[in-house]
Amino acid sequence: MNLENAALPVLFPLLFLLLGLGFTVVIDPYIRQKQRRIMLFITVLCLSLIVQNLWENELFVSHSHLVLKNVLSAYGYSVRPVFLVLFLSIVWPEGKKWPAWMLAGINAALYFTSPFTKLCFEIREFDFAALWGPLWFSCILVSGVLLLWLLVLSGFRFRETRKLEQLIPVSVALVIALSVVLDMQVGMVSQPVSFLTIAIVVGSVFYYIWLHLQFVREHERDLEAAQRIRIMMTQIQPHFLFNALNTIRALYAKDLPLADRTLEDFSTYLRQNLESLSQTELIPVSKELEHTRLYAEIEGLRFPNIRVEYRIEDRDFLVPALTIQPLVENAIRHGVRGKKDGLVTVSTACESGVHRITVQDNGAGFDPKKRDSDVGAHIGLRNVRERVEQMCGGTMVLRSEIGGGTGITLNIPVGGEIGAKEKRT
């Protein structure tokens, strides 16, 4: 048949798109189980709408089965708003969706009762001509309201999305609106599958791609939050809290002004560690150096044999929070704590387009080639390295030799913090 021959070029890409969509949804690790079921249901609905179009047009050609023709037409107009309600359920899972379902239900009731009431459409028995009723615009009106609702909620829910990505849902809405106009101008019987059905299938695929990008970004933010918690827990160790409080308590019996100052420093230190939980942006290096100084002074009260010196030549750049302090802590705990004249030097400099931060100690050192001494074995250092790489595009270099101390250098490209920020956003 001519209709079947005309349908093949349209059907093949549509079915291929739906097959790819269903397979991708099944294996997508970033989508929740409930959202996955909804997307699979949307895929099945798309397939049913294609079948409805083909079957309905076949009946128009053959001029038979008036009742079935009415049911298929009512189904086609009723199911279109349902797609939008289902996408609303994915974008806004916690919100109340009964108003949306009510609109879709009223639309379905109007079309399924139209064979008797002729409110939306009428199909004449003698020639199968389709005539519009007084409420023929019900599907367009309901779908328009739901589409606008979906766009507003999508923009609000994912307001941190890159501006270029926001063009995807807007483009889908425009294509759907254009397809309605084309169907009204060209006529739905003159083609095997309506423009609107094609737009719904393609729009569902592209809208899912856009949602997938948002789910991936949310997953990355969750990982960053978990990492910040892990970082804080590695920096506020129970032994440090216990020892610091014991030191302050002992100072109150010997040196009241020093005890008060140390307690204030300790409170500031804890507050800054807690603030790092919500710190997603880079901070001035001067702020990180001040945090390091607080830690070093508290530890210096317990270990008067240790000195921390600062040689700061470069102050005008940004670093991730809790970057230098963990390096100094590592140098004290594993390098110079048991040394009679322990020295930890913190230096910054800008050389050859790179901000360099170096923490050097005069401890016993170790053999970096040994597995137990690998930087990856220390979670605090590993966290520093990962954040410098991800947030600044920088590197961390560890140098150590037995008897020669240990040095760790952070290399942060000039302007790297800006590029990394733009990449994340």
Q: What is the pLDDT of residue 375?
A: 46
What distance in Å separates the CA atoms of residue 21 and residue 83, rounded to the nearest whole number? 15
For the segment 184-223, what is each residue's pLDDT rounded down to a tens digit?
Answer: 877 655 577 888 899 999 999 999 998 888 888 888 877 7
Beta-strand pair 354-361/318-319: unpaired
Q: How far apart are CA 66 and CA 125, in angstroms?
A: 7
Q: 53 with 194: CB under 8 angstroms? A: yes
CA atoms of 157 and 153, how far apart (whole Å)? 6
* Contact partners, residue 254, CB within 8 Å, separation at least 6: none
The segments of the chain whose pLDDT lies below 70 read: 1-8, 59-64, 126-128, 161, 187-190, 225-239, 276-280, 369-379, 416-425
Which pLDDT score, from 0 to 100, does residue 300 have?
87
Residue keyed to tokens 């779908």: 143
CA-CA distance, 211 to 206, in Å (whole number)?
A: 9
pLDDT given for residue 93 in this prediction: 83
pLDDT for res 233: 55
